[in-house]
């Protein structure tokens, strides 16, 4: 239980980054797969070789991840390369760079060095207390992202993913917005990587592979489950307004959903392991979770439309299906 929550909360930082590109910028960014490792490798090397403070190592990881995001952004915005391809190119290049950062090793152990986790342990922060501390940290990141997306710059970023033509006609450089968005996103991903490295006691070249799937699963799952009409209705009440506000409600609801999604995803993975799946099956299971989370809302709409069939609406529906055929 605590393991699920712990991993869910840490990976939620990465999921928030994926949300920023995938949902806000409408940019399916595959850089994530390696910028996670870039963050981990940067933090690990700085801690091992230069005895850097573990928290500063997290900051360094954010910067390293952000640089990777900027490269993808430049490839797309200035080079005109398709978003998916730009991400893949950066991701592939980063594999070599990550090995370089780690001194041409596939693994950098943090044994015997101070980490956030060793600090947690020596201060008796374990179990549920640790969950609480992590929850506060993740909420801080959520609030920062919420705040950022509510600023003048953040609004420009949101609109860039929504209606590029319009936002340019109001003098926003969509190129700059995309680069900023990709930088912040991959910065968060790199920071999550460094966090995980400190937790597991090493940075590993393969630790990020397939992570885009985890991020997407968290975002899609969270929004599919959490963002429903009951929550929207709650957000309209006085208590809901207090929590989600009215200025940037969509984003506040979505980031909350993404954090829940990250935890739900971890629970699903733990559940799959508990009923006897092999850890090697996890990629397949992740992919199936994403597919289901994408398809189920569509099925729901269709069955709802069918159940509402009345003599008057039936001809219209018939017409619509005929037109489709």
Partner 1 sequence: MLKLRNINKTFFPNSINERVALSDINLDLDDGDFVTVIGSNGAGKSTVLNTIAGKVSPDTGIVEIAGRNVTRMKDFKRAKYVGRVFQDPMAGTSPDLTIEQNMALAERRGLSRGLSFGITKAKRQRFAAALEVLELGLEKRLSAKVGLLSGGQRQALSLLMATFSEPKILLLDEHTAALDPERARLVTHLTEKVVAEKNLTTLMVTHNMSQALEVGNRLIMMHEGDIILDVSGEAKASMSVEDLLAQFSNIKDAAVSDRTLLQ
Q: Is 68 in the site for partner 1 (CB under 8 A)?
A: no
Q: Which of 51, 111, 122, 165 binds partner 1 (CB under 8 A)?
A: 165
State which of residues 96, 121, 123, 163 lies at the interface with partner 1 (CB under 8 A). Answer: 163
**Smaller CB separation from partner 1, 171 or 279:** 171
What is the DSSP-derived secondary structure letter of residue 53? -
Other beta carbons within 10 Å of 285: 17
Q: Looking at 2-10, 50-58, 77-85, 165-173, which segment touches partner 1 (CB under 8 A)?
A: 165-173
* 153 forms part of the interface with partner 1 (CB under 8 A): yes
Instruction: Measure the CA angle with vertex 143, ends 88 and 14; round to 5°.
Output: 25
Dig out the tokens for 304 from the structure. Answer: 């709802």
Phi/psi at 307 (5° precision): -70, -20
Q: Which stretch binds partner 1 (CB under 8 A): 3-11, 85-93, 155-163, 258-266?
A: 155-163
x/- letters, 111..150, toward partner 1 (CB under 8 A): -------------------------------------x-x
Indicate whether 73 belongs to the interface with partner 1 (CB under 8 A).
Answer: no
3-state secondary structure of 203: strand
As a whole number of Å, the CA-based R_g of the chain is 21
Q: Which one, of 11, 73, 64, lies nearest residue 39 by Cα?
A: 64
Residue 230 to residues 233, 244, 256, 308: CA-CA distances in angstroms? 5, 14, 15, 20
Q: Does 174 bind partner 1 (CB under 8 A)?
A: yes
For residue 172, state whether it binds partner 1 (rule: CB under 8 A). yes
Complete DSSP assignment for 45-107: HHHHHH---HHHHHHHHHHHHHHHHHHHHHHHHTT---HHHHHHHHHHHHHHHHHHHTTS-SE
Our finding on whether 159 is near partner 1 (CB under 8 A) is yes
Binding mask 234-273 for partner 1 (x = CB under 8 A): ------------xxxxx-----------------------
Asked if 193 and 39 count as a contact pair (C-beta separation under 8 A), the reply is yes
- Of 50 and 147, which CB lies nearer to partner 1 in the complex structure? 147
C-beta closer to partner 1: residue 73 or 208: 73
| Positions that interact with partner 1 (CB under 8 A) | 148, 150-156, 158-159, 162-163, 165-174, 246-250
């Amino acid at each position: 239980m605590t393991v699920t929550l712990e991993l869910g909360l840490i990976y939620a930082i990465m999921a928030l980054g994926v949300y920023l590109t995938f949902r806000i910028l409408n940019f399916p960014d595959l850089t994530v797969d390696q910028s996670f490792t870039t963050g981990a490798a940067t933090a690990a090397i700085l801690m091992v070789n230069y005895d850097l403070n573990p928290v500063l190592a997290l900051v360094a990881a954010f910067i390293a991840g952000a640089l990777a995001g900027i490269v993808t952004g430049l490839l797309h915005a200035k080079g005109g390369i398709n978003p998916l391809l730009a991400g893949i190119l950066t991701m592939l290049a980063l594999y070599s760079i990550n090995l370089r950062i780690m001194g041409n090793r596939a693994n950098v152990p943090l044994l015997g060095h101070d980490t956030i986790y060793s600090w947690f342990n020596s201060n008796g922060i374990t179990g549920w207390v640790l969950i609480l501390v992590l929850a506060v940290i993740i909420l801080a990141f959520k609030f920062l992202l919420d705040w950022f997306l509510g600023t003048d710059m953040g609004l420009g970023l949101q609109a860039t993913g929504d209606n590029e033509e319009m936002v340019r006609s109001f003098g926003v450089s969509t190129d700059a917005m995309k680069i900023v968005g990709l930088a912040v996103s991959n910065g968060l991903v790199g920071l999550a990587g460094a966090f995980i490295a400190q937790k597991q006691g090493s940075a590993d070249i393969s630790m990020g592979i397939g992570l885009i799937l985890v991020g997407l699963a968290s975002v899609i799952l969270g929004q599919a489950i959490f963002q429903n009409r009951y929550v929207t209705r709650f957000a309209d009440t006085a208590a809901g307004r207090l929590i989600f506000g009215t200025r940037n409600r969509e984003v506040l609801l979505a980031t909350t959903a993404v954090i829940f999604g990250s935890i739900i995803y971890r629970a699903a993975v733990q559940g799959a392991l508990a009923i006897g799946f092999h850890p090697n099956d996890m990629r397949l299971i992740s992919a199936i979770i994403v597919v289901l989370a994408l398809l189920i809302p569509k099925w729901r709409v269709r069955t709802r439309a069918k159940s509402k069939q009345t003599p008057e609406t039936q001809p219209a529906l018939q017409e619509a299906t005929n037109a489709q055929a």
